[in-house]
Amino acid sequence: MKILPIVLGVLLLVAGRRLYWLFVGAVGFLIGMRIAERFFPQEGSWQYLLIVVLAGLAGALLAMVIQRIAVLLAGALAGGYVLSSLLRGHGVHTLYMPWILFAIGAIIGAFLVALIFDWALIVPSSLLGAQLVVEGLAPREISVPLLLGLFAVGVVIQGFGMRGRVAEPD
């Protein structure tokens, strides 16, 4: 069990919209992990840790400076990460073009972000939060039902947090 991803996942499930910088930073961190795994397979090496930390910090900083662009990018990256992780975990692989699954998920994530901003934060942050919790806790047999259940809980919790709120102008 990996405690940090589970804690991060729970935070994203309940407060991903309000803590958008955490969402964007988490996506940067996760993408940095994937990149580092490819080039520095020995997890824990200084190069591996440097890439992961810098990617997470870059994501959080980007979110604070240029929020809408950062959230659009994070939505795309989160969508790519979730779709490729979910399908890879169930044995679906693209041997010659592994980025196809990621690109499809990224398009879906970016579309969600562009569709409606608050919900674009709620949906991908709930989905990414659910994925992180599932990766840390669940065996493959129950991962999809647990992912869907946690995703729904995250959407409901964050959606209720928006009740009575006036939409923010661009």
Q: How far, in Å, CA of 91 to CA of 81, rounded?
A: 15
pLDDT digits 0-9 by tens, 93-151: 666 666 787 888 888 888 877 777 788 778 888 998 999 899 888 777 788 889 999 99
Q: How far apart, in whole angstroms, are the C-alpha atoms of residue 30 and residue 81? A: 8
- 170 lies in some domain: no
Residue 3 has pLDDT above 90, yes or no: no
C-alpha distances in Å from residue 104, one per residue of 13, 40, 153: 23, 26, 25
For residue 155, is it within any domain?
Answer: yes
Residue 47: the pLDDT is 77
- Looking at residue 97, its pLDDT comes to 65
Q: Over the stretch 40-97, which tens digit does the pLDDT of each residue have?
A: 777 667 777 788 788 878 877 777 777 777 778 888 888 888 888 887 777 666 666 6
In a domain, 66, yes or no: yes
For residue 32, name the pLDDT band (cuts at 50, 70, 90): confident
Domain assignment of residue 14, yes or no: yes
What pLDDT shows up at residue 170? 39
If one counts the domains in the chain, the total is 1
What pLDDT band is residue 157 in, cutting at 50, 70 and 90?
Answer: very high
Burial class (CB in 10 A: 0-12, 13-18, 19+), 1: exposed
pLDDT at 169: 40
Instruction: Tell whether 37 is covered by a domain.
Output: yes
Domain assignment of residue 14, given as a range: 3-160
Indicate whether 109 belongs to any domain. yes
Q: Does residue 82 belong to any structural domain of this protein? A: yes
